Structure 1
Amino acid sequence: MLIAKDDPSVGPSFSLQNRLMRQLWNWTWLMLFRPSPRPLHAWRNWLLRAFGARIGQHVHVYPAVKIWAPWQLTIDDYVGVADGVTLYNIERIHIGERCVVSQGSHLCTGSHDYNSRSFRLIAAPIVLEPSVWVCAEAFISPGVTLPMGAVIAPRSVVAKSLGTPWSVYAGVPARIVGKRTQQTY
């Protein structure tokens, strides 16, 4: 049997530099980020910036947020990311201003090609436009853009980009169940 060079079953999916940076980040997260007191948002933002994240003003990333690669993360102004959130960002995640990502939510930019013999790794970015609320334990799939003002109900699954701004989405897969009043700041 001939084995392809990019077969993940015989070799790593990521470069040595990427793997070393993630290891350094994992130790930093474990020793400095995770045990930091809840009010020390500025400290955690500084650590994220030190690893290449682009973090705006008045951003609250809580200590139990799991971030795979800070250098693939952009968070705009006035954003909250709650404890228990997973940002699995092997590709870029951009969280727009005034967004909230609630407890236990999972933003996942990676998956595997189920038509590939070796289930080759695939990835696509996630974008949360301004004023989005991803409620508790929602799952956002690779390649998804959430439109301005969208609310994703608890435990909903968003498998493809949503098109209607200022709407409430719920279910598996998420569908429109209501409208929001458009906010101005």
Structure 2
Amino acid sequence: MERTDQERGGMNSSPVIDLSKAPGERAAWDQPTWKVYLWAICELLFVTNSWQISSALRISVLRAFGARIGEGVIFRPRTRVKFPWKLHVGDRSWIGEGVWFHNQDDVHVGHDVVISQETFVTAGSHAHRRDMALITRPVHIEDGAWVTSRCVVLGGARIGRNCVITPLSVVDGRAVPADEIWGGNPLAYVADRVLEGGRRP
């Protein structure tokens, strides 16, 4: 049985934001309605669809909707892209199965980057102290970085060149230094990234 406010120790006196008055999600669309809806259909058929196994076809469809994707990129099945016209991926990068780019703002992925399975990259949040209006900040994942499986990368994050983010980590809106390994929630330094031969990348 659900407890009442009084049983929880509250008096039901604190104000609550009326979500019916919150600025809408369309604030981030910046494209015609027909294009956003058409993309939703194409995403379902060609990008998110686990039966569609061709990385080349997936990339072709993303490019047709404005994504800037370099050469030699691998884009696995079950991926999601909110707005392809706000996605930038450099050459030879790998996008793992189930990665979700919830990119209400630009997401920049450098060359030779790995983003592993089920990682969630979001460029949006809400003004939770005011009116729950959408707030967006771009995300930058620099060349040679590896964001491992099931991480969350939040708006404003800048993951440095050759950085590694360990599994299940949350990267808040901060700059993570190059050539280092970081992980956890809250995010913390783990070690330098050292290649075979004892050198940093």
Instruction: Output the TM-score relative to the length of structure 2.
Output: 0.81
Query: Which amino acid counterpart does residue 75 of structure 2 have in structure 1?
Result: V
Distance 1:17 1:128, change over 3 A: closer
**Residue 96 of structure 2 is aligned to residue 86 of structure 1:** no
Partner of 1:60: 74
Once the two structures are TM-superposed, the CA of residue 44 in structure 1 deviates from its matched residue by 1.1
Q: 1:153 aligns with which of 163, 166, 188?
A: 166
Number of corresponding residues: 175
- The percent of aligned pairs where both chains have the same amino acid is 28
For residues 1-185 of structure 1, the aligned pairs below 5 Å read 7-8=21-22, 12-14=26-28, 17-35=31-49, 37-38=52-53, 40-116=54-130, 118-181=131-194, 182-183=200-201
Find the structure with the greater CA-based Rg: 2
Partner of 2:17: none
In structure 1, stretches of 5+ residues that fail to align are 1-6
Q: Assess if the C-alpha contact under 8 Å between 1:109 and 1:142 holds in 2.
A: yes
Query: Which amino acid counterpart does residue 104 of structure 2 have in structure 1?
Result: I
In structure 2, stretches of 5+ residues that fail to align are 1-20, 195-199
Query: Which amino acid counterpart does residue 126 of structure 1 have in structure 2?
Result: V
Distance in 2, Cα, partners of 1:153 & 1:99: 14
Distance in 1, Cα, partners of 2:30 & 2:162: 39
Once the two structures are TM-superposed, the CA of residue 45 in structure 1 deviates from its matched residue by 1.1
* Aligned-CA RMSD value: 1.9
Once the two structures are TM-superposed, the CA of residue 34 in structure 1 deviates from its matched residue by 3.4
Instruction: Output the TM-score relative to the length of structure 1.
Output: 0.87
Q: Secondary structure at the match of 1:71?
A: helix
Once the two structures are TM-superposed, the CA of residue 82 in structure 1 deviates from its matched residue by 0.8
Distance in 1, Cα, partners of 2:24 & 2:104: 20
Distance 1:24 1:152, change over 3 A: same
Distance in 2, Cα, partners of 1:67 & 1:78: 19
